[in-house]
Amino acid sequence: MNITGVPLADFYAITDDVSRRAYDGNVAVAPDAHNARGNSITARLRVRDGRGAGARTAASGRHGPYACWHAYRDVLWTVFSAYPDARARTALETYQGISGFERDFPATRYRNIGSVMYPAYMPDLCVVDDCGEAGPPFLRTVDDLAAVEESACVSDDDRVLARIQRELQRADRYGPEPIVFEGPPSLAGVPDLAYSGR
Q: Give the strands of the sheet with 27-29, arranged side by side.
A: 27-29, 45-47, 63-67, 55-57
Angle, CA 117 vertex, CA 116 and CA 122 arms, to 5°: 65
Q: Domain count for the chain, please give it.
A: 1
The answer to whether position 15 is within a domain reads yes
pLDDT at 141 over 80: no
Banded pLDDT at 175 (limits 50, 70, 90): low
**Residues of the domain holding 72:** 2-154
pTM (whole model) above 0.85: no
The answer to whether position 180 is within a domain reads no
The answer to whether position 98 is within a domain reads yes
Tell me the average pLDDT of the chain.
78
The answer to whether position 109 is within a domain reads yes
